[in-house]
Amino acid sequence: MLDIKFLRENPEIVKENIRKKFQDAKLPLVDEVIALDVESRKAKQEADDLRAARNRISKEIGGLMAQGKKEEAEAKKAEVAAGAKRLAELEVMETELQEKITKIMMVIPNIIDDSVPVGKDDSENVEIQKYGEPVVPDFEVPYHADILDSISGLDKEAAGRTSGNGFYYLMGDAARIHSAMISYARDFMIDKGFTYCIPPFMIRSNVVTGVMSFAEMEAMMYKIEGEDLYLIGTSEHSMIGKFQGQIVNEASLPVAMTSYSPCFRKEVGSHGIEERGVYRVHQFEKQEMVVLCKPEDSMEWYDKMWSYSVEFFRSLDIPVRTLECCSGDLADLKVKSCDVEAWSPRQKKYFEVGSCSTLGDAQARRLGIRTKGENGTYYVHTLNNTVLATPRGLIAFLENNINEDGSINIPVALRPYMGGKEKIVPVK
């Protein structure tokens, strides 16, 4: 959420930013919120004047009563009563106007960084760099569901009976690889100096609206019926919410955390849920990284964070690339974002396995997360990035480590988590 003062003083910058995000339908909101802000400040000023007058007149009444001027004192009391009625009206008006302003401000997009390329959607995202050689072997790489089936590792039929489409059972070595990757991702980030955390997997609605836009919330979140609770779509939601309403000690910044959680998503949209495989599902597990820092440090942390994801996947012999998200592909709260994509030798193209974002002070402003230093109190900046989301990470691992005979190599980094195994041999 933008600072109302910034919008008031820079309406054309805000409008141009809306145009860059191809959300022209929101342009009238800028003038609407400015008009409401004028009305709100006018009401506040009148209310403040009435309060000051009430205090002054109350003192006068006391003096008049002391002098025995009862009639004059009664007249003053009537004046206070009339002012009190108007003050009550103004206080209601102030509340209503502020609610309207906040509602509009919540849907006006954050100001994107100047380095973000302008584009309508993800088809116009820009490749930054490739890491590792994207090899296409001289044998046909099977579909990931077939690889998992060859090691008796996937049962979607049973999951369909218990839970419906979009769920799965991972079995045997497949489940073990999945857990090994998550454990390795945890330790990888701990070694980078991040504090490990397991957060709540359900959060209240005020936290949800603090960390994402309404559109994202409707498309992603599962609501717990009869309670003010939502299942998290990523542990970032809980981790940022942990600091809601807090003043973080400036000396403790940056706060760098890595968190594990299951994630639950509706996956509403044209892409749909994958019928046969596990690329797009309702439930998955994730190792995340979250940082709270000073505004001047956020871009440095942004570059560190995505580079950690690249390093993680390269340590598993998986070629990756980074992709700069264009303006139209950025969620409303994001200042800048890039995707990390893994190479798929089967499809002969890259696919998304993680995303790194800096949100400026948008989430902190919504949730009231501040810090206090020599120069006063200010909002922190928040960033998040995927270390590993599996089963997507599992798919990338399988495709890039399978051999022609169907066996699967275990990279050195994962072997301690796999009981020393160097290879998995198919059973089918």
**Cα distances (Å, whole numbers) of residue 406 to 44, 149, 329, 398:** 72, 11, 38, 10
pLDDT at 53: 84
Phi and psi (nearest 5°) for 364? Answer: -65, -40
Q: Kindly give the confidence (pLDDT) of every residue in the chain, 428 residues in length, as a single tens digit, with 9 standing for 90 and above.
A: 899 999 999 999 999 999 999 999 999 999 999 999 999 999 999 999 988 888 888 777 777 777 878 777 777 777 778 788 889 989 999 999 999 999 999 999 999 999 999 999 999 999 999 999 999 999 999 999 999 999 999 999 999 999 999 999 999 999 999 999 999 999 999 999 999 999 999 999 999 999 988 778 888 899 999 999 999 999 999 999 999 999 999 999 999 999 999 999 998 655 666 778 999 999 999 999 999 999 999 999 999 999 999 999 999 999 999 999 999 999 999 999 999 999 999 999 999 999 999 999 999 999 999 999 888 999 999 999 999 999 999 999 999 999 999 999 999 999 999 999 999 999 97
Instruction: Say how far apart CA 335 and CA 340 lie, in whole Å.
Output: 17
- Reported CATH class of domain 4-105: mainly alpha
pLDDT at 217: 81
pLDDT at 423: 96
The 10 Å CB-count burial string (b at 16+, else e) for 211-231 is bbbeeebeebbbeeeeeebbb
Tell me if residue 194 falls in helix, strand or coil: coil
pLDDT at 372: 94
Q: What tokens were used for 9?
A: 């003083």
pLDDT at 272: 62
The residues spanned by each domain of the chain are 4-105, 122-424
Q: What is the DSSP string of 93-114?
A: HHHHHHHHHHHHHTTSPPPPPT
pLDDT at 282: 94
pLDDT at 269: 59
Question: How crowded is the C-beta side of 200, counted as CA atoms within 13 Å?
Answer: 13
The domain 122-424: what is its CATH number? Answer: 3.30.930.10
List the helix and strand counts (H, then E) for the chain: 13, 18
> Facing residues of 355 across strands?
339
pLDDT at 119: 97
Going by C-beta distance under 8 Å and a sequence separation of 6 or more, which residues neighbour residue 253?
A: 292, 293, 294, 297, 371, 380
